Structure 1
C-alpha cells in the first residue's frame, strides 16, 4: 500500500509540475483540432446528372427482349374496326375480363374497348392511343382511357393481372372514373385448386433431378444463375408455368410442394407472376413481391418480357430485401471506420477541452489577481511568502521530500535573480508557479495541509 501511495503521489506531483499555461493552451489546441475534424466530417457531396448515365444512355427499346412479334394496323384501320364493333381484340392480345360485370357497368352507354397485344414499340403504342373512338385502350394489360390509367395496387390484383391477364378491376375503375361514379370494391376472383397426383408427379421428378420444372408453353430457356445464386441461402426449386387461362382455377403448386419439402426454398411462376414458398416466406415474400411489382409492374403490363428476365429481376429484389438485415441474411461487410465510431463523441471532447481551458484560465486570472498584480507588483510579496514557506518546510521534510524542496528553492532563487535583473513578469510567474508545485508536493509528503502554498500564503497575507 505504501508503494501505491508513493506512485500516486509522484504522478500527482508530476501533473502539478506541468506549467498551467502550457496545459491551458494544449487544451485549446485540442478543442480547435476536434472542431475542425468534426466540421470536415459534415461535408456533403453533390453529384448532378443530366440524363447521361452510362448504364441507361445505351439502353434502347427492345434490347431486353421485351418487344413481341405482333403488329398493329394503322390508326385509321383500328378506328374503323372500333366503329364497327364495341370490343376489338387485335391478334396477340392477352387481356381478359369478366364480361358480365363489365357489361353491367357499361349499361346503355356507348363505351368501346380496343385490346392490343403486349410488346409494341413506341410507334405502335402511339398508333393505338390515337384511336379516339375507343373509350378504353388496353396494351398488354395496361388499361387506360382519356386521362386515366388504371392499375392494381396490391398483391391479389397484381397476381390476377400477371398470372391470367385479368383486367376486370381496371376496366370497372376506368368506367367509374370517366362517369363520376363510386369506385368498385376490390375483389379477388382468382380461384385455386389442389393439383392432382398426375400433375404433381412429373413436377416433383424434375425438381428432384434438376431443381427446375419448365412446363410446355413457358418462355424460360435457362435460369438466371447469378441472381439465383445470391437470392437464397440454399439452392431453390423453380416451377415455371405459362400464363394461365382466364376463368379457370389455377393449380396451387406452391402449398402442395411445400408440404412435400417444407425446408426447401421454392419459386413458382405463372406467366409474369412470381411467388415464393418455403423457409421464411411469412417474413419476406410479401415484402419482396410488393416492392417488385410496385416498381416494375408498369413495364411488365405493356411489354412481353421473357420469363427469364422477369425471374432474374425478381430474384435480384429478393437478394436486396434479404441483405437489408431485416431477415435471415447478414448485412454485407462494412470496414471499420474510426471516424464514424468516434464522430458522436467529438462534440463532448470539444466541450471538455473548452471547459478545461476556461477553468485553467480562471485559475490563472485569480492567481494573478491574488499574488501577481499587473506589471509584476505582487511578485515580490509572493516570492517572499514562498521563501518563508520553504524555510519552514525544510525543518519538517525528510529524504522523500528533500528532492522537491531542493527544486523549489532553486526555482525561488531563479525567480529572485529574474526580479533583480528586471526580466518580464510572465517569466517570474512561471518560476514561482513551478516552485509552488514543488512546495505543495512537500507539504503533502509531510502531511501538513496548513503548509500547502495557497493555504499558507492566504494566512500570511491576511
Structure 2
C-alpha cells in the first residue's frame, strides 16, 4: 500500500467522523416538537353547546313530594309521573329481572335540579328514569352505539338501558342488545305532503315537531349548496317509523336530506361517508344532556350541524387535504441512525487499521508490495552469506532489482510496476538458490510462512 493511499485513508477516516457528527446533530434537532398548523381544519362552525340546566322551552312542572312518590311506588311497581316519555319492552325487562324485585319511577325530562333530587330520594324505587336517563342505586345505564341512541331519541325507548342496569344490579351477564326498532314505507299522502313542503320551503315540520326554522348559519356552513329538512315529533313507542330518507332521496337526488325523529337525526344523500362519524360524535358527546332535558329540535339540530361542519372541515371526507410538498428531512429521517452507525463503524475500522500500521504489523502480516520487498530483502541478506561464485551473479541481479523496487516504492510509482520489479528480483533469487543447492531459500518457500 503506498504512502499516498495511506494518507487518503487517514483523510477518509476524519471525513467519516465529521459526517457522523453532522448526522447526529441533524437527527437530534429534528426531534424537537413543533406546533401543528391547524389553519386548514379551522372550522367556521359556531360554538354552540348544550347549555347547563333545564331545556329553554321547559315550563315549571312539579313532581310530588318524596313522601307522596314513595307511597305511589309502594302501591305499584311502575309509577309514571305526568309528562314522562320513556317506554320499554316489558317482556325483556321481566325476563332479565326474574325474581329480582324491581320498582320503577318514571319522571318527565324537564325537571330542575331540586326536582331531580326529589325523584332520586325515593328510596323504595329500585330504578328511576328521568326523561330517558336510567339510573338506580350506584349504577347508571347509558346507550353507547347508534342503534341504541336511535331507539332512545326517536321513540324514547329505554329497554336496553333498563336491561343493562338490572343485569348489573343482579350481577349477571348483560343480554345481547336487540335492535327492535321497526320501519315502514311512508304512505303516498305522507310522502306527498312532505315533498310539497320541501319543494316550496325546504323544510317540513310535522304536527308536534318542535323545529320552528332551520338554523341558517349552521346549515350554510354544514351544507354550502343547501339541504332539505324534515322534522317529525318523537314517534310512539313500539310502532314502526316511516322511512322517509330513502324515499325522499329518490325524489331529490344529489341533495342532502336531514330527517329528525324527535331528537334523533339522520342524514341521507350524497357523500354520506361522514354521517356515521358525525352521529357517533354528536350523540357520544351530548346524549347524556339530551336524555335528561327535553331540548327543542331547533337547538339539537343547530349543534348537530355545527358538528357536521367540524368533521367535514377536518378534511376526512369530501374536502381534499391540502398539498404539502415533500420534506426531504422527514423522508430521510428514518435512515439517519443507520447512516450514523455506518460512519462510526467505518471510522473505528480505519482507526484500528491506522493503529496497526503504526505498530508495524502491516508489513509483517501483509502480502502487498512493502511486505514482499521486506521479505525478499531479508532473503537476499541471508543468501549473500551462503552463495558461491556460480550463484553470485544471479544474487547480484536480484539485489539490483530489489533496490529498484524500493526506489519505485519511495517515489510512489504505480504498485503494479513495483510488483513487477519484485517478481524479477524473486526470479533471480530463485535462480541463485537453485544454483547453490539451497532449496529452502527459494523465494516461494522462504516467504510462505512469513507473508501468510
- 1:63–1:364 distance in 2 versus 1, CA, 3 Å: farther
Verify the 8 A CA contact 1:323 1:331 in the aligned structure 2: no
Show the counterpart of 1:388: 407
- 1:128 equivalent to 2:123? Answer no
Q: CA separation in 2, counterparts of 1:273 and 1:332?
A: 34
**Following TM superposition, by how much is the alpha carbon of 1:239 offset from its aligned partner in structure 2, in angstroms?**
1.8
Q: CA separation in 2, counterparts of 1:67 and 1:341?
A: 58
Show the counterpart of 1:408: none
Q: Which runs of 5+ in 1 are unaligned?
A: 1-14, 46-55, 393-435, 444-448
Give 3-state SS (helix, strand or coil) of 1:190's partner: coil
Q: CA separation in 2, counterparts of 1:371 and 1:112?
A: 97
Show the counterpart of 2:295: 305
- 1:248–1:367 distance in 2 versus 1, CA, 3 Å: same
Q: CA separation in 2, counterparts of 1:225 and 1:363?
A: 79
Verify the 8 A CA contact 2:54 2:112 in the aligned structure 1: no
**Following TM superposition, by how much is the alpha carbon of 1:64 offset from its aligned partner in structure 2, in angstroms?**
8.2
- 1:39–1:223 distance in 2 versus 1, CA, 3 Å: farther
Show the counterpart of 1:256: 247
**Following TM superposition, by how much is the alpha carbon of 1:237 offset from its aligned partner in structure 2, in angstroms?**
2.5
Verify the 8 A CA contact 2:231 2:261 in the aligned structure 1: yes
- 1:148–1:66 distance in 2 versus 1, CA, 3 Å: farther
Q: CA separation in 2, counterparts of 1:368 and 1:270?
A: 90
**Following TM superposition, by how much is the alpha carbon of 1:458 offset from its aligned partner in structure 2, in angstroms?**
12
- 1:152 equivalent to 2:162? Answer no
Give 3-state SS (helix, strand or coil) of 2:74's partner: helix
Ranked by relative contact order (alpha carbons within 8 Å, sequence separation 6 or more), the top structure is 2
- 1:244 equivalent to 2:235? Answer yes
Q: CA separation in 2, counterparts of 1:267 and 1:164?
A: 18
Give 3-state SS (helix, strand or coil) of 2:196's partner: helix
| 1:273 aligned to which of 247, 250, 264 | 264
Show the counterpart of 1:353: 343
1:243-302 Cα deviation digits (max 9, x unpaired): 222233322110111222343222211111112222344x55444434443443233212
Q: CA separation in 2, counterparts of 1:168 and 1:388?
A: 104
The higher radius of gyration belongs to: 2
- 1:235–1:370 distance in 2 versus 1, CA, 3 Å: farther
**Following TM superposition, by how much is the alpha carbon of 1:93 offset from its aligned partner in structure 2, in angstroms?**
2.0
**Following TM superposition, by how much is the alpha carbon of 1:195 offset from its aligned partner in structure 2, in angstroms?**
1.8
RMSD across aligned C-alpha pairs, in angstroms? 4.5
1:405-450 Cα deviation digits (max 9, x unpaired): xxxxxxxxxxxxxxxxxxxxxxxxxxxxxxx5xx6xxx4xxxxx51
| 2:21 aligned to which of 25, 32, 43 | 32
Verify the 8 A CA contact 1:206 1:212 in the aligned structure 2: yes
Q: CA separation in 1, counterparts of 2:422 and 2:32?
A: 53
**TM-score normalised to the size of structure 2?**
0.66
1:54-94 Cα deviation digits (max 9, x unpaired): xx9x9972398597754444434433443344433333322
| 1:111 aligned to which of 95, 102, 115 | 102
**Following TM superposition, by how much is the alpha carbon of 1:170 offset from its aligned partner in structure 2, in angstroms?**
2.8
- 1:458–1:146 distance in 2 versus 1, CA, 3 Å: farther
Give 3-state SS (helix, strand or coil) of 2:266's partner: strand
Verify the 8 A CA contact 1:98 1:168 in the aligned structure 2: yes
- 1:207 equivalent to 2:193? Answer no
Deviates more, 1:192-201 or 1:58-67: 58-67
Q: Which runs of 5+ in 2 are unaligned?
A: 35-46, 364-369, 375-402, 427-450
Verify the 8 A CA contact 2:249 2:268 in the aligned structure 1: yes
- 1:43-62 equivalent positions in 2, closer than 5 A: 61-62=52-53
Q: CA separation in 2, counterparts of 1:391 and 1:313?
A: 89
- 1:220 equivalent to 2:239? Answer no
Deviates more, 1:33-42 or 1:139-148: 33-42
- 1:19–1:175 distance in 2 versus 1, CA, 3 Å: closer
**Following TM superposition, by how much is the alpha carbon of 1:459 offset from its aligned partner in structure 2, in angstroms?**
10
Q: CA separation in 2, counterparts of 1:167 and 1:145?
A: 14
Q: CA separation in 1, counterparts of 2:175 and 2:88?
A: 15
Verify the 8 A CA contact 1:68 1:118 in the aligned structure 2: no
**TM-score normalised to the size of structure 1?**
0.65
**Following TM superposition, by how much is the alpha carbon of 1:353 offset from its aligned partner in structure 2, in angstroms?**
2.2
Q: CA separation in 2, counterparts of 1:455 and 1:143?
A: 100
- 1:186 equivalent to 2:205? Answer no
Show the counterpart of 2:446: none
Deviates more, 1:16-25 or 1:145-154: 16-25
Show the counterpart of 1:331: 321
**Following TM superposition, by how much is the alpha carbon of 1:206 offset from its aligned partner in structure 2, in angstroms?**
3.4
Q: CA separation in 2, counterparts of 1:241 and 1:289?
A: 18
Give 3-state SS (helix, strand or coil) of 1:94's partner: coil
- 1:101–1:21 distance in 2 versus 1, CA, 3 Å: closer
Give 3-state SS (helix, strand or coil) of 2:286's partner: helix
Show the counterpart of 1:424: none
